[in-house]
Amino acid sequence: MVGLTELINGNNPVTLSKRIIRMKLTAIIENGENGWLVGQIEEIPAVISQGKSIEELKGNLVDALYLYLDTQKELTDQEYAGKSIIREELILA
């Protein structure tokens, strides 16, 4: 997994993650089994992870979010391959 430090420093091998996306999201956290914390991103429920501490869990959720976004981008690219489309950049402030 890619950590937040790698994202900031641009050492991330994941394509979409080369762009720093600034947005405020909410982590829903609950106690899991064997001392683990389990969480998901409220605004994007498909993004789920775990960690031994809240900080570790939050970092793992960030990693999971970037992997999720990259996977969705790859699937979308496959869906539109060979089609005439327009791509417009959206900026989240």
Give me the pLDDT at residue 5, please.
41
The per-residue pLDDT for 16 is 52
pTM: 0.73
pLDDT for the residue numbered 25: 93
The pLDDT assigned to 20 comes to: 61
Low-confidence stretches of the chain (pLDDT < 70) are: 1-21
CATH number at residue 36: 3.30.160
Identify the domain containing residue 61 by its residue range: 4-80
Identify the pLDDT of residue 86: 94
Say if 12 falls within a structural domain. Answer: yes
Written as one string, the DSSP assignment of 37-92 is EEEEETTEEEEEEEESSHHHHHHHHHHHHHHHHHHHHHHHHHHHTTS---------
Find out whether 8 and 20 touch, Cβ atoms under 8 Å.
yes
